[in-house]
Amino acid sequence: MTGNAARLDAVASVIDRVELPKGVDFSAEPTGDLFGINTFNLAKMKEVLSSEAYEKLIATISDGSKLDISVADEVAGAMKDWALSRGATHYAHVFYPLTGFTAEKHDSFYDPAPDGGAAISKFKGKTLIQGEPDGSSFPSGGLRATHAARGYTAWDPTSPAFIIENPCGTTLCIPTSFVSWTGEALDKKTPVLKSMQALDKVARRILKLFGHESIAHVSATAGPEQEYFLVDKSFFYSRPDLMSAGRSLFGAAPPKGQEFDDHYFGVIPERVMSFMYEVDRELFKLGIPAKTRHNEVAPGQFEIAPMFESANVAADHQQLVMTVLKKVADKYGLACLMHEKPFAGVNGSGKHVNWSLGNSTQGNLLDPGDTPHENAQFLVFAGAVIRAVDKFAPLLRAVVASAGNDHRLGANEAPPAIISVYLGDQLMDVFEQIKGGGATTSKSKGVLNIGVDTLPELPKDAGDRNRTSPFAFTGNRFEFRAVGSNMSIAGPLTAMNTIITDSLEYIADRLEGASDLNAEIQAVLQEIMEVNGKVIFNGNGYSEEWHAEAESRGLPNLKTTPDALPALTSPEVVEVFEKYGVLSEVELESRQEVYAEQYCAIINVEAKLAIEIAKTIIYPAAMRYLGELSSTVAGVKEVGVTPSTAILEEAATLTSSLESAIAALESAYGSVGHEPTSWKDTVLPAMLELRGVVDSLEAVIADDIWPLPTYQEMLFIK
């Protein structure tokens, strides 16, 4: 089948697709009854564990106490019995390596009996606590030699075990940390847990200063909003670039894109709505509190957002959300794309991480109340965030750096690479008063009268939102908007927890030795505004004026991943991570190396794909069309709408140049290369040049010959 025939068949199959998977019987299985049914949560533990074991486990999960190993056998037995009752035949220690994705090793619950008869189930405490996957093939950035294979997984009791269903059976999944034989973190989870532990200790110091005597474990919390695209599988499998790179390397802009703003919050297409219903049900089964779903700005783009959870659990659940989205999409004949920029010229996708901290006794510590100028406790925690973001802005840029996110950051859909803080009118006014000598008033929230008698008056927030800010205060939390849609949120969470711990400790040290607590609070917050207030910006982060102003303020503007990654091993970053025992210098160096290598590998794959598509799909289609035209006098005279031989020669020349650029880098730096700046400066521009020519061909080659599904088809046919 020729390329153009395959494309037209793909279009026809989408248009003719009328039979969807049969829906579930909501009367038999109400969604509300499903929440947590596939998780070994606290309610199930309370039913099956002894009171002593349950209380010890609660002390670990809720209070951050050290795990009592003596309860492991009882928990393992109860977990196994529950899993077997749910049809499980295997268990898997699930971990999160530096690839950013989820890994799992499956083991059977059953061993053959000595007499060769029926199998017997085995699952002891030591099996629950520790697993041993082969660690040699996961990226380690030099933490271990290639021939050294031993790695350990360690059970994380704070994140509930869960069942993954398959039409042929179920598997018990146990969230774990993943460390090397010598103890270094080979994963994303371990640093999150360490950073949360450090944050808890220092936050409690602050709360004691405000007279609190009963202080529960303070936990960082997170609620990540996931953006994604859906395209029909027929189109997906007709695009080698989408299949292998997750984004379209070629594609001319359609006549209609997102300029009418008609997709945002629009009516959800029926097939997509069916997909969303099932996603919600699957997430509810896993105890994931999915809350919001809607159309996003770009055609074919959507969003799902859960409610807040403990940051560690939220990170684990975010990985599950991505897995469920992809699995359910496939069932409905769709492919779920989570690349930050799968289609040029339309909005890319982010993963906005809403972050706060709090506990069961003092509540949300970033809730300003109605009169934030009188809420000194809140102002101290908010001031710590301002200081942390300013002091460690390069680190925050580095933890959202990737080849995919470079296409998104700085465009008119995402925050710029300049890290700044948005406070809103009310909070900005309070901190400006503090800077001037003391806050005495707060702007009121007020009421919004719409002017229609039949509509109710609405409570009005004291400040507007700012979608252009990478780090925005949104009422009772900060929203880190620069995180990419394809990323694990663990890296950003680790960074935020650690740097805010540093600022809270700085403030605690100042306040604990003060003779006049209120006067010292005013002094330290005033100092933060004077020294770190330059990071606050409430205006339009997309504007060119902001770039110039940010430079005059001395704010870093790390536009690309090669610019940003060195921050991971800067002296101040190494010092703060080692100070709180979150990551050692060696572990930070390993991450910088891993992410640099991933950046180079991604561009390498994309460049080779571009060459393959140009040589084997685009160029033959153009030659075929030119041959057809040359056979007719009318065709030859169609000036301005035919692909001239000059354009084809230019495409061939650019393809050859791209091949040469790759070969030179591979020769200089190895099969992939570890020098991201060279890939950025030589290969990416060559790819863009080739794309420009190919996209111009799409505009003039006959539609029945053009071989690749177009943007118009992929974005609008659902």
Q: Render pLDDT for 270-329 as a digit per residue (tens, 0 to 9).
A: 999 999 999 999 999 999 989 899 899 899 999 999 898 999 999 999 999 999 999 999
Determine how β-strand 162-166 pairs with β-strand 478-480: unpaired
**CATH number (domain holding residue 53):** 3.10.20.70
**Are 169 and 296 within one domain?**
no
Domain coverage including residue 670: 599-716
CATH at residue 455 = 3.30.590.10
Strands (E), 247-381: 290-295, 301-306, 309-310, 334-337, 351-359, 363-364
If asked whether residues 706 and 630 sit together in one domain, one would say yes
Q: In this structure, is residue 463 part of a structural domain?
A: yes
Domain boundary among 546, 577, 598: 598
Burial level of 539, CB count in 10 A (0-12/13-18/19+)?
Answer: middle
The whole-angstrom separation of Cα 169 and Cα 163 is 10
Q: What pLDDT score does 18 carry?
A: 45
Whether residues 645 and 589 fall in one domain = no
Domain boundary pick from 187, 220, 239: 187
CB 14 within 8 A of CB 237: no
Long-range contacts of 205-209 (CB under 8 A, 24+ apart): 205/504, 205/505, 205/508, 205/512, 206/377, 206/380, 206/381, 206/504, 206/507, 206/508, 206/511, 207/362, 207/365, 207/377, 209/508, 209/511, 209/512, 209/517
| Cα–Cα dist 204/379, whole Å | 16
363 and 315, same structural domain?
Answer: yes
Q: Is residue 25 part of a domain?
A: no
Residues 138 and 124 in one domain: yes
Distance of alpha carbon 274 from alpha carbon 284, whole angstroms: 16
Does 580 share its domain with 606? Answer: no
Q: Is residue 501 a contact partner of residue 513, using CB atoms and an 8 Å limit?
A: no
Same domain for 515 and 663?
no
Q: By three-state DSSP, how is residue 145 classified?
A: coil
The CATH number for 699's domain is 1.20.120.1560
The reply to whether 21 falls in a domain is no
In a domain, 174, yes or no: yes
Are 567 and 607 within one domain?
Answer: no
Domain count, the chain: 3
Low-confidence residues in the chain, pLDDT < 70: 1-8, 10-28, 117-118, 135-136, 144-149, 410-414, 447-450, 453-455, 457-465, 631-643, 670-674
Domain boundary among 598, 626, 653: 598
Token pair belonging to 707: 């071989």
Whether 17 maps to a domain, the answer reads no
Residue 13, in any domain of the structure? no
Q: How far apart are CA 644 and CA 625, in angstroms?
A: 11
**Helix (H), strand (E) at residue 230:** strand 219-232
Residue 5 lies in a domain: no
Residue 344 DSSP symbol: T
Specify if 287 maps to a domain. Answer: yes
Q: What is the rounded CA–CA span in Å between residue 301 and residue 290? A: 18
Contact present, 582 and 198 (Cβ < 8 Å): yes
Say which residues have a Cβ less than 8 Å from residue 113's Cβ, sequence separation at least 6: 119, 120
